[in-house]
């Protein structure tokens, strides 16, 4: 416990950036440790025991027998870079090494990692794939992947590995549409705010500063206008000051001190909360499609913990209902007590709620299980 010395704000990071990943890193490196945890937290390299995603597709040759089928690895191409959709993590890593700027390569690796204990790395790859896709068409980038997986399912409707990848492709498009929609909403709100500030003869430099804060998402335009009405500075930077605690270990043990710290944590918002009305139906369509595919997997394979935990994660991003997701993760803990994934997501959930003690407990358990090869 004496090793735990850090800033609470460092740990209460934004879920859209690093979430509980920073906390996992601190725990795994030994900077945060619990007295009850004696297992080494240095994760060992897991040997791949998974095969490339394969399916049966009709032979394409015109002179082939109509009933003939060939077993083929699902292949897609992006910018003439031939990639293989696979749940073999080492192979997926090699593709990322070969095509580091290819969103699809990172997407394939992300999906493969979601079937392993390396949850935080999977989410990092998801974010990186989304970021790279922004410069290659944004949400539209995933249309080809979606079409490919949908076609594969027409040939092999019971191939849940393809269905699982399709659910993630739907999610990626939904998320990027939500981002695009939020930017559209923010642009409209920023312009309306600027017009109000100009009418009030606010100095140009203050308007520019307020607009930058709103565009970056650090402030809401309603707050800026409320400050204007109350005669306060338009941009209050005092909330950005870091709260340092000299000994977080003692604070965790006491817990009472922690309860008063995360007052700046914003309520969890769903994807539609800031969506422009013109785009909301399409966002909803793709989120619903992602959840539907995962529901079908769970219906066929009720013990698929990976599908359950990630479905809860995707739905929480969609609806903003974190408590519902945490209830699912608690159920998954009971179903598979030695699977690290539910502990990781519960740790992240507690982190978002400001409960640092439970966050550390759960993520420490996840790291310890992973070190045991679970």
The per-residue pLDDT for range 360-371, each reduced to its tens digit, is 999 999 999 998
State how far the Cα of 234 lies from the Cα of 206, in Å rounded to an integer: 7
Using only C-alpha atoms, what is the Rg of the chain? 23
Residue 54: phi and psi, rounded to 5, are -125, 160
Q: What is the pLDDT of residue 217?
A: 77
Which token pair is 328?
């699912």
37 within domain boundaries: yes
State how far the Cα of 345 lies from the Cα of 66, in Å rounded to an integer: 48
State how far the Cα of 143 lies from the Cα of 114, in Å rounded to an integer: 21
30 within domain boundaries: yes
1 within domain boundaries: no
254 within domain boundaries: yes
198 within domain boundaries: yes
Q: What is the pLDDT of residue 69?
A: 28
Average pLDDT for the chain: 77
- What mean pLDDT do residues 200-220 have? 87
- 120 CA to centre of own chain: 9
- What mean pLDDT do residues 144-156 have? 94
State how far the Cα of 130 lies from the Cα of 173, in Å rounded to an integer: 9
- What mean pLDDT do residues 295-313 have? 96
Q: Over 90: is that where the pLDDT of 133 sits?
A: yes
Residues 6+ apart with CB under 8 A from 13: 19, 21, 22, 351
Q: What is the pLDDT of residue 276?
A: 85
Instruction: Number of helices (H) and strands (E) in the chain: give both, helices first.
Output: 16, 4
> What is the tens place of the pLDDT at every residue in 36-58?
333 333 333 333 333 343 333 33
3 within domain boundaries: no
Highest mean pLDDT among 66-75, 90-99, 180-189: 90-99
Q: Over 80: is that where the pLDDT of 13 sits?
A: no
What domain range is 21 assigned to?
8-237+244-371
* Residue 189: closest CA among 207, 215, 209: 215
> What is the pTM assigned to this prediction?
0.70
State how far the Cα of 334 lies from the Cα of 327, in Å rounded to an integer: 11
Q: What is the pLDDT of residue 49?
A: 37
The total number of structural domains that make up the chain: 1
């Amino acid at each position: 416990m004496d090793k735990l010395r850090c800033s609470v704000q460092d740990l209460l990071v934004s879920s859209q950036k690093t979430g509980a990943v920073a906390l996992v890193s601190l725990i795994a490196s030994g900077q945060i440790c619990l007295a009850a945890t004696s297992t080494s937290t240095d994760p060992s390299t897991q040997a791949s025991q998974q095969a490339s995603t394969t399916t049966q597709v009709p032979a394409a040759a015109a002179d082939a027998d109509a009933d003939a089928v060939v077993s083929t690895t699902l292949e897609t191409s992006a910018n003439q870079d031939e990639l293989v959709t696979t749940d073999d993590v080492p192979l997926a890593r090699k593709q990322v090494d070969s095509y580091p700027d290819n969103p699809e390569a990172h997407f394939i690796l992300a999906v493969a990692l979601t079937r392993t204990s390396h949850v935080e790395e999977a989410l990092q790859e998801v974010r990186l794939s989304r970021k790279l896709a922004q410069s290659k068409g944004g949400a539209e980038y995933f249309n080809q992947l979606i079409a490919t997986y949908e076609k594969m399912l027409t040939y092999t409707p019971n191939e849940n590995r393809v269905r699982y990848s399709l659910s993630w492709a739907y999610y990626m498009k939904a998320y990027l549409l939500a981002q695009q929609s939020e930017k559209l909403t923010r642009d409209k709100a920023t312009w309306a705010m600027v017009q109000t500030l100009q009418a009030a003869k606010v100095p140009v430099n203050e308007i520019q500063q307020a607009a930058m804060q709103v565009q970056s998402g650090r402030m809401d335009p309603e707050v800026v206008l409320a400050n204007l009405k109350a005669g306060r500075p338009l941009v209050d930077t005092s909330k950005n000051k870091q709260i340092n605690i000299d000994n977080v270990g003692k604070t965790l043990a006491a817990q009472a001190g922690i309860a008063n710290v995360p007052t700046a944590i914003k309520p969890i918002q769903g994807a539609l909360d800031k969506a422009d009305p013109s785009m909301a139906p399409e966002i909803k369509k793709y989120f619903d499609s992602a959840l539907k595919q995962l529901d079908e997997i769970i219906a066929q394979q009720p013990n698929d913990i990976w599908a359950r935990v990630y479905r809860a994660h995707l739905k929480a991003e969609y609806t903003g209902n974190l408590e519902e997701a945490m209830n699912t993760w608690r159920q998954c803990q009971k179903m598979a007590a030695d699977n690290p994934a539910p502990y990781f997501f519960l740790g992240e959930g507690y982190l978002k709620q400001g409960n640092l003690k439970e966050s550390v407990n759960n993520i420490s358990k996840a790291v310890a299980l992973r070190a045991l090869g679970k």
